[in-house]
Chain A
Amino acid sequence: MWATSHIPRPPGASLPGAPSTYRQVVAHVRLRTPLALLGAALLVLVAPPLLTTGSGADTGTQIPGLRFMVPNTPGGGYDITARTAAKNAEDAGLTHNIEVYNLPGAGGTVGLTRLVGEHGNGKLAMSMGLGVVGAARSNHSPKSLGDTTPIARLTEEQDVVVVAENSPYKTIDQLIGAWRENPGKLPVGGGSSPGGPDHLAPMLMARAAGIAPKKVNYVPFDGGGELLASILGSKVAFGVSGVGEYLDQIKSGELRLLAVTGPKRVKGLDGPTLKESGYDVDFTNWRGIVAPPGISDAERKKLITLVEKLHASPEWKKSLKTNGWDDAFLTGEKFGDFLDAQDKRVVSVLKELGL
């Protein structure tokens, strides 16, 4: 396993160019060279498949050799969703050895392009979410989620509108009142690049409050962590990000929750929805799974069955709880329609911004 063990260490002093050794080698060359070449060729051809027998009968929910692509870096949201889902599916005995791997780039667009390129591959799935829908549009990707085979939506998460504990804004009305007066002076921080969920949420908020989205001073941060420091230090007037990451800071009082962006209040948190505060916003981030285009009906059904069984398993239920994810299970066609609607919404918001 150490890197050393496979660095070649030629025996003795037979360094290249040493004349005596060279002559000896030439003498044997007639017999030994073809043998060596044959051996090497056999080794590289035969050893990998023999050593990689990812067996398991192709029955029931088993999909031997299933690979799960994560279109962003380790530690990101899609990564955690994918690794948790794969682990739970294995623990529940649904299938062996799901291989999870990362192919990050351009907010998930690189992964999406690769997935669409794997036409007809029934042993591949990709973890994705609203961010990929936005990134594909804002990067003007030639491939969209309409090109994929929708499998299922798994979880959803509301965004929260938060300020630091020493912020002058005590309610969402105060904040939006001040924001309306001078949108430029009230920078809003979010954990995603333009086109991502944390960017869309404040834009929808602005639209509902009668602020032209173009006037909004949106400051993108590299993930929720970097954003948190800026909210706590009052560098930005307020922050908008997923509820999961800030649960503890809200509970400990370091962050004040002004509102949640979804249709109903978050259990255990004391904050109104934007809707009940009079702003017509209904925004929820979500994550799901898609497969490459052109897979057979049987393959599609098999993937959906696997996800359905996973959804029903106690392991997954437990994971939902520990991670604080809301269940939002939706499969197949219905998920496809949902994807379409989300795509249209993203396009309409981005158009207003001129992205």
Chain B
Amino acid sequence: MTTPDTTTTTTGAGPEGTGGRSRRAWLREHSELGVGVLLLALGVLVLTDALTMDVEIAQRGPIGPKTVPVAVGVGLLVVAVLLAVDVLRGGRGEAEGGEDIDLSEPADWRTVLLLAGVFLATAVLIEPVGFPIAGALLFWGSAYALGSRHLDRDPLIAAGLSVVTYEVFNNLLGVPLPGGPLMGVL
């Protein structure tokens, strides 16, 4: 949903170049049009949801459950078009800078995908293998993806952090977290 770099879009004026390479360059240059397309899609989604709602319940007053979604949906469509026009006229959103950020290098998609994958794996694993294991994998996996290669230290830090967190939440505070396969066996 957030890889607009690869989104091929047909919004706005057609590509100026004739060759494949210049077309790609044009698309790369105007990749922000992808944001417009996503906003458009979101607007259509919100409007569809609102208009297919069956309001059988006695609705009181002039404003029912549909009104605000319709307004938001229309707003999304309008903003999508305005944004596309702005981009085609040469407007660009400025990527966010920061202390740890080096915008001169191209984006490191591998790290982002790794991190997202590790996070997703945590969501999948947390119930079957329990929080201590899933949490440790999340921390270690993230640190690994971000370039930490202390194979002798990182797993221990991750395991320690995860187990302590588990103890604090589950045992001291009584906020239940799944304990893992050996719960009730040992």
Contact = CB atoms under 8 A, between A and B. Distances in A.
Interface string A17-34: 100001001001100110
Contact of B152 (A7, A29, A354): A29
Interface string A37-68: 10111011111111110000000000001010
Interface string A62-80: 0001010000000000000
**Chain A interface residue count: which class?**
35 or more
B174 A25 contact: no
B60 interface: yes
A5 B164 contact: yes
A16 B167 contact: no
A44 B171 contact: no
Contact of A100 (B57, B159, B170, B174): B174
A328 interface: no
Contact of B130 (A1, A25, A48, A50): A48
Interface in B151-166: 151-166
B138 to A, nearest CB: 12
A239 interface: no
Interface string A278-292: 000000000000000
B156 A36 contact: yes
A355 interface: yes
A39 B160 CA distance: 10
**Chain B interface residue count: which class?**
35 or more
A353 B183 CA distance: 48
A16 B149 contact: yes
B132 A37 contact: no
B152 A51 contact: no
Given A7-B161, A8-B161, A49-B179, A36 B153 contact: yes
A6 B161 CA distance: 5
Nearest to A7: B161
Given A17-B147, A49-B186, A99 B174 contact: yes
A139 to B, nearest CB: 13
Contacts of A355: 56-57
Nearest to A67: B176
A50 B60 contact: no
A46 B56 CA distance: 55
A200 to B, nearest CB: 14
Given A5-B164, A51-B171, A40 B155 contact: yes
A101 B152 contact: no
Contact of A44 (B58, B136, B147, B184): B136
16 contacts: A8-B161, A10-B153, A10-B157, A28-B152, A29-B152, A40-B156, A43-B159, A44-B163, A44-B180, A45-B181, A46-B186, A48-B132, A49-B185, A52-B171, A194-B57, A218-B60
Given A16-B147, A43-B156, A47-B167, 5 more contacts: A8-B161, A36-B154, A47-B132, A49-B185, A214-B58
* A-B pairs with lowest CB-CB distance, top 10: A40-B155, A40-B159, A32-B152, A6-B164, A8-B157, A44-B132, A214-B58, A43-B159, A49-B186, A354-B56
